[in-house]
Chains A and B, each alone.
Chain A
Amino acid sequence: MGLLSILDRSHTIAKPGFNRWMVPPAALCIHLCIGQVYAFSVFNLPMTKLLGITKSAPGDWKLTELGWIFSIAIFVLGFSAALLGRWVEEGGPRRTMFAAALCFGGGFLVSALGVWVHQLWLVYLGYGLLGGIGLGLGYIAPVSTLIKWFPDRPGMATGMAIMGFGGGAMIASPLSVWLMSVFSTPTHVGVAKTFVVLGIVYAIFMLVGSAIVRVPAPGWKPEGYVAPAQPKKLITTRDVYVYQALKTPQFWLIWIVLCLNVTAGIGVLGQASAMSQEMFPGRVTAATAGGFVGLLSIFNMAGRFFWASTSDFIGRKNTYFVFFVLGFVLYSLVPYFGGHGNLPLFVLCFLIIISMYGGGFATVPAYLKDMFGTRYVGAIHGWLITAWSIAGVLGPVLVNYIRQYQIESGVPKAHAYNVTMYIMAGLLVVGFIANFLIRAVDDRHHMAIETVDEAVGVA
């Protein structure tokens, strides 16, 4: 018990002289690892050949069964972030990162056992449930800590961490492919050993993050930082308790804003390869489309840092206005560029769209901080992530089903995405209205000053 006390918030308080720029790498240690979830699909095909090795044999797992691993992990991510958010805020970042490392790394190890003994339920339990809890805890763990360290640039700070989540897949995908090639033998495809290595490496990487993270001492401010004398209308200086925040219209408006922004982007991200090939038949091959998807990943990651940092200067509400207005224009232009065979402008449109998709994720913690204060922002962010879970279903369903309906109605494949683009543009109009309706949180929702002091242990 004594040993575990080093995980407590009280043991994480930075001493004088600690440089706050040590905290973003700590956060990146977590987000670069859990971002691996976006690259999990590289295991799908090899896991359909665990028995047959060169091709699927009777008894091998099917792709439809394997698709559930990712779905369970993402569902549990949202669920655990929402339910454990308060524990995260009150226990501090080190304890949470430590737990996230054990869950995420442990999830890989349990999955490795599942692959080894060919029991799919163990993979669901390992990567899906245990790994999913690690994802949820890891995703929200550094958010409020970064905001407290960077009161002058909260958007940039959280943007850096959440950028790591976008970058994690770029590391995981080539790393996993390489590991599987190293471990594959004539009798094994190498997935189990790859899971073991990834589990251990990710756990160590995340534990380093939990070791170097610090929270600022109560009352700490960056050198030379002076809080604005005249508080801005949409930036509160007080705190709202997590469950009280859920009772405000502002929380649900931001929920809609995030959900619609993500819905518009996630459907495209999932279908980018097929869409580009079908809209430009003969010009975009499978290999070229792979390059397009790679570029999208880079803009998804870079957009997280760029837009979140920009929001520190133009404000959170204005940043989302840019997403919705610019997104509306770009989505409306895509069918035009597709119809005229203008591939460069088609690609440019989607690169900007996907940068705003990433930007939406990265800007939202600072938006919540502006609305509800810093005390429970991590926990409130946890609840907001349910918007991601819903969007994760809505976006792909909209793109896939409307495309299918169009094709069945006799529309050529090259034009089958046009209606979807206009629907996405329409969703962004709804998001614009929701964002427009956001006002400062009513005073009655704020915590009394003495309650805040008790909560943070400041006597």
Chain B
Amino acid sequence: MAFNNNGDGTTTLELVLAWGFVGIPLLWGIYETLVHAMKLFH
């Protein structure tokens, strides 16, 4: 996939892909940690 760098601007798709690329693993990590943290309240 070529990221747009030839003068015609960043597309919304590129932004969504870039944020999804880092956001999905991060959210998964937070979810896993939260599940673990819930033991504190049991």
Note all chain A residues with C-beta closer than 8 A to B28: 171
Note all chain A residues with C-beta closer than 8 A to B33: 170, 294, 297-298
Given the contacts A22-B15, A26-B18, A298 and B26 also touching, CB distance less than 8 Å:
no
Closest CB in chain B relative to A19 CB, distance in Å: 4
Considering residues A29, A174, A290, A292, which has the most beta carbons from chain B within 10 angstroms of its beta carbon? Answer: A174
Flag if B26 contacts A167 (CB, 8 Å): yes
Note all chain A residues with C-beta closer than 8 A to B32: 170, 173-174
Flag if B3 contacts A171 (CB, 8 Å): no
Q: Is the interface of A mostly helix, strand, loop or mixed?
A: helix
Flag if A174 contacts B10 (CB, 8 Å): no
Proximity bits, B1-42, A CB within 8 Å = 1, else 0: 001111111100011001101100110111011101111111
Cβ of A63 within 8 Å of any chain B Cβ, yes or no, is no
Q: Is the interface of B mostly helix, strand, loop or mixed?
A: helix
Flag if B3 contacts A211 (CB, 8 Å): yes
Q: How far is the CA of A319 from the CA of B28 in the complex (A)?
A: 30
Closest CB in chain A relative to B28 CB, distance in Å: 7
Contact-residue bracket for chain A: 35 or more
Cβ of A113 within 8 Å of any chain B Cβ, yes or no, is no
Flag if A170 contacts B29 (CB, 8 Å): yes
Note all chain B residues with C-beta closer than 8 A to A294: 33-34, 36-37, 40
Flag if B39 contacts A290 (CB, 8 Å): yes
Flag if A171 contacts B40 (CB, 8 Å): no
Q: How far is the CA of A212 from the CA of B34 in the complex (A)?
A: 31
Note all chain B residues with C-beta closer than 8 A to A290: 36, 39
Closest CB in chain A relative to B23 CB, distance in Å: 8
Flag if A288 contacts B39 (CB, 8 Å): yes
Considering residues B6, B28, B39, which has the most beta carbons from chain A within 10 angstroms of its beta carbon? Answer: B39
Cβ of A25 within 8 Å of any chain B Cβ, yes or no, is yes
Flag if B5 contacts A298 (CB, 8 Å): no
Given the contacts A32-B26, A171-B28, A288 and B40 also touching, CB distance less than 8 Å:
yes
Proximity bits, A290-302, B CB within 8 Å = 1, else 0: 1110110110010
Closest CB in chain A relative to B13 CB, distance in Å: 12
Q: How far is the CA of A171 from the CA of B22 in the complex (A)?
A: 11
Cβ of A15 within 8 Å of any chain B Cβ, yes or no, is yes
Closest to A28 in B: B22
Q: How far is the CA of A211 from the CA of B19 in the complex (A)?
A: 14
Q: How far is the CA of A25 from the CA of B17 in the complex (A)?
A: 10
Note all chain B residues with C-beta closer than 8 A to A25: 18-19, 21-22
Closest CB in chain B relative to A222 CB, distance in Å: 14
Proximity bits, A1-44, B CB within 8 Å = 1, else 0: 00000000000001111110110011011001000000000000
The residue that A17 contacts in the complex, of B3, B8, B25, B41, with Cβ under 8 A, is B8
Closest CB in chain B relative to A33 CB, distance in Å: 10
Q: How far is the CA of A443 from the CA of B19 in the complex (A)?
A: 41
Closest to B26 in A: A167
The residue that A171 contacts in the complex, of B5, B29, B37, B38, with Cβ under 8 A, is B29
Cβ of A287 within 8 Å of any chain B Cβ, yes or no, is yes
Note all chain B residues with C-beta closer than 8 A to A171: 25-26, 28-29
Flag if B21 contacts A18 (CB, 8 Å): no
Proximity bits, A167-183, B CB within 8 Å = 1, else 0: 11111111000000000
Flag if B3 contacts A19 (CB, 8 Å): no
Closest CB in chain A relative to B37 CB, distance in Å: 4
Q: How far is the CA of A100 from the CA of B7 in the complex (A)?
A: 28
The residue that A212 contacts in the complex, of B3, B30, B42, with Cβ under 8 A, is B3
Q: How far is the CA of A292 from the CA of B40 in the complex (A)?
A: 6
Cβ of A438 within 8 Å of any chain B Cβ, yes or no, is no
- For the complex with contacts A18-B9, A22-B18, A26-B18, 19 further pairs of A-B residues with Cβ separation under 8 Å are A14-B5, A17-B4, A18-B5, A19-B15, A22-B3, A25-B22, A167-B26, A167-B30, A170-B32, A174-B32, A208-B21, A212-B3, A214-B5, A287-B39, A290-B36, A291-B41, A292-B37, A292-B40, A347-B40
Interface residues of B (CB under 8 A from A): 3-10, 14-15, 18-19, 21-22, 25-26, 28-30, 32-34, 36-42
22 CB-based A-B contacts, threshold 8 Å: A16-B9, A17-B9, A21-B19, A22-B3, A22-B15, A26-B18, A28-B22, A167-B30, A169-B29, A171-B26, A172-B29, A174-B32, A211-B3, A287-B39, A291-B36, A291-B38, A291-B39, A292-B40, A294-B34, A294-B36, A294-B40, A298-B30
